[in-house]
């Protein structure tokens, strides 16, 4: 088998890359470890930056997102017994976010690829990369796929990044002393906009998926077994953390899904080696506070598409050679923002009264100074490309 771009992984990065390349007449094959159902059901974050929304619309896969996605023009920060709105319409006019689950984006992209006879091979457990500095090849299930280039879009635990020899890549990391318990519930949201709550009991986030389905997160200890959280305990804790302002009452309902997500910051530099290009979680991870993961994956793929288009059209590898450097500027901005939102809103060591005062001071600043609030708002909706 032969293709122009061999893509490892059918998450948002791999699928969107395959779709954008197709629109430019460039052929690709996507090889995915899991089955289609698994990819379409995996519950992840659900906040799309303005640029992500625009790109999905421009590339013709935004129809259901426009119908079912929820545009939001602000978020709420809740701490110290009061609520503070960050108004995007005032601070970053014309830019907003859209709440639309990542697995819905994945479903739309898979449907678009299959409708255009795109090739996605699901359920391949043994993908391996070969000769990425010479004649790149992917092998799987006894088959060989020859390609001009390989896109490693296989997430943090994939095979692409580890197939780069030791010494080529430098990694930069931060661990956090907590995780998030994510909860999906069949209950109308108790809020119109997302609520990020800092409380002495730990962080809580009230998000949503539709007028009938809410999404919540609770700060929990790292490696917390999900079994420690029966439904009644989840509702009690969400109530204790979110019902911290007068007049707010949390509605409860049946819990559809719950899982624990570790929190980590990670960057691999450079994001390329020979003819292998890493994109999305394969190259970098952010903690989910601020929901940048999917949006960064989209930004990488946008840069890679333009570079590949240029290479095929002109033979010049200039943009491909600059791929990593072009992506890393945005990656590091999002790294900083995600680390900053995380540090601002979570409970760290209970004895760290100094750290707690610093958080309060910055929260007071960001909710009273237009300059500080604009910093949050422009990063949250996404810096322009």
Binding site for ligand APR (CB under 6 A): 8-14, 31-34, 39, 44-45, 102, 127, 153-155, 157-159, 280-281, 293-294, 297
Residue 30 CB contacts under 8 Å (≥ 6 apart), including other chains:
7, 8, 9, 10, 14, 15, 18, 113, 118, 119, 120, 121
Structure token pair of residue 228:
């420690």
* Smallest separation, CB 167 to ligand PHB (Å): 35
Q: Which option in ligand APR, ligand PHB, none does residue 34 bind, with CB closer than 5 to 8 A by kind?
A: ligand APR
Is the Cβ of residue 263 or residue 297 nearer to ligand APR in the bound state? 297
How far, in Å, CA of 220 to CA of 260, rounded?
8
Catalytic residue among 206, 258, 292, 346: 292
Q: Which option in ligand PHB, ligand APR, none does residue 158 bind, with CB closer than 5 to 8 A by kind?
A: ligand APR
Is the Cβ of residue 194 or residue 363 nearer to ligand APR in the bound state? 194
Residue 32 CB contacts under 8 Å (≥ 6 apart), including other chains:
9, 10, 14, 39, 120, 121, 122, 123, 124
* Smallest separation, CB 346 to ligand APR (Å): 18
Is the Cβ of residue 12 or residue 182 nearer to ligand APR in the bound state? 12
Q: Which option in ligand PHB, ligand APR, none does residue 237 bind, with CB closer than 5 to 8 A by kind?
A: none
Q: Which option in ligand PHB, ligand APR, none does residue 153 bind, with CB closer than 5 to 8 A by kind?
A: ligand APR
Q: Is 215 in the site for ligand PHB (CB under 6 A)?
A: yes
Is the Cβ of residue 163 or residue 374 nearer to ligand APR in the bound state? 163
Q: Which option in ligand APR, ligand PHB, none does residue 51 bind, with CB closer than 5 to 8 A by kind?
A: none
| Closest among 125, 116, 138, 115 to 33, alpha carbons compared | 125
Catalytic residue among 196, 217, 273, 277: 196
Q: Which option in ligand PHB, ligand APR, none does residue 155 bind, with CB closer than 5 to 8 A by kind?
A: ligand APR
Catalytic residue among 72, 84, 206, 284: 72
Is residue 292 part of the annotated active site? The answer reads yes
* Smallest separation, CB 13 to ligand APR (Å): 3
List Cα–Cα distances, 261 to 179, 236, 323, in angstroms. Answer: 6, 20, 30
* Smallest separation, CB 1 to ligand PHB (Å): 37
**How many helices, marked H, and strands, marked E, lie in the chain?**
12, 20
Longest dimension (CA), the chain: 65
Site for ligand PHB in 278-317 (CB under 6 A): 288-291
Is residue 288 part of the annotated active site? The answer reads yes
Task: DSSP letter for 2, please.
Answer: B
DSSP string, 318-374: HHHHTHHHHHHHHHHHHHHHHHHHHHHHS---TT-HHHHHHHHHHHHHHTT-HHHHH
Token pair 């100094």 is found at 354
* Smallest separation, CB 365 to ligand APR (Å): 28
Instruction: Determine how many CB atoms are found less than 10 A away from the CB of residue 135.
Output: 11
Q: Is 194 in the site for ligand PHB (CB under 6 A)?
A: yes
Residues 43-72, mask of contacts with ligand PHB (x by CB under 6 A): --xxx-------------------------
Q: Which option in ligand PHB, ligand APR, none does residue 46 bind, with CB closer than 5 to 8 A by kind?
A: ligand PHB
| Closest among 383, 350, 376, 351 to 362, alpha carbons compared | 376
Q: Which residues pair with 306 in a beta bridge?
A: none
Is the Cβ of residue 161 or residue 215 nearer to ligand PHB in the bound state? 215
Is residue 93 part of the annotated active site? The answer reads no
Residue 22 backbone phi and psi in degrees, to 5: -55, -40
Please, are residues 108 and 19 in contact by the beta-carbon 8 Å criterion? Answer: no
Kindly list the catalytic residues. 72, 196, 288, 292, 380
Q: Which residues bind ligand PHB (CB under 6 A)?
A: 45-47, 194, 205, 207, 215, 288-291
């Amino acid at each position: 088998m032969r293709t122009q771009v061999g893509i490892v992984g059918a998450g948002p990065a791999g699928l969107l890359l395959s779709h954008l390349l197709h629109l430019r007449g460039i052929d690709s094959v996507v090889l995915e470890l899991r089955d289609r159902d698994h990819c379409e059901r995996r519950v992840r974050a659900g906040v799309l930056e303005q640029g992500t929304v625009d790109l999905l619309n421009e590339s013709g896969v935004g129809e259901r997102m426009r119908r079912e996605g929820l545009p939001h023009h602000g978020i709420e920060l809740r701490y110290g017994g009061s609520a503070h709105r960050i108004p995007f319409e005032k601070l970053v006019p014309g830019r907003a976010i859209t709440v639309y689950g990542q697995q819905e984006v994945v479903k739309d992209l898979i449907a678009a690829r299959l409708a255009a006879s795109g090739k996605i091979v699901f359920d391949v457990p043994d993908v391996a990369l070969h000769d990425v500095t010479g004649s790149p090849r992917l092998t799987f299930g006894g088959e060989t796929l020859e390609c001009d280039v390989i896109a490693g879009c296989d997430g943090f635990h994939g095979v692409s990044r580890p197939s780069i020899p030791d010494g080529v890549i430098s990694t930069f990391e931060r661990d956090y002393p907590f995780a998030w318990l994510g909860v999906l519930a069949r209950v109308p949201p108790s809020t119109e906009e997302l609520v990020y709550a800092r409380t002495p009991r730990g962080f809580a986030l009230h998000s949503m998926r539709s007028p009938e389905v809410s999404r919540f997160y609770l700060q929990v200890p790292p490696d917390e077994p999900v079994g420690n959280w029966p439904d009644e305990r989840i509702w009690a804790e969400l109530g204790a953390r979110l019902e911290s302002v007068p007049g707010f009452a949390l509605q409860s309902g049946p819990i559809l899904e719950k899982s624990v997500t570790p929190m980590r910051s990670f960057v691999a530099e450079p994001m390329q080696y020979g003819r292998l290009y890493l994109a999305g979680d394969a190259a970098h991870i952010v903690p989910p506070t601020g929901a940048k993961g999917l949006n960064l994956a989209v930004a990488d793929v946008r840069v890679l598409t333009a570079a590949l288009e240029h290479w095929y059209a002109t033979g010049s590898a200039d943009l491909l050679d600059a791929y990593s450097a072009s992506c890393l500027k945005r990656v590091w901005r999002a790294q900083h923002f995600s680390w900053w939102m995380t540090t601002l809103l979570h409970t760290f060591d209970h004895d760290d009264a100094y750290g707690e005062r610093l958080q309060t001071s910055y929260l007071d600043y960001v909710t009273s100074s237009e300059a500080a609030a604009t910093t949050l708002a422009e990063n949250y909706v996404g810096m322009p490309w």
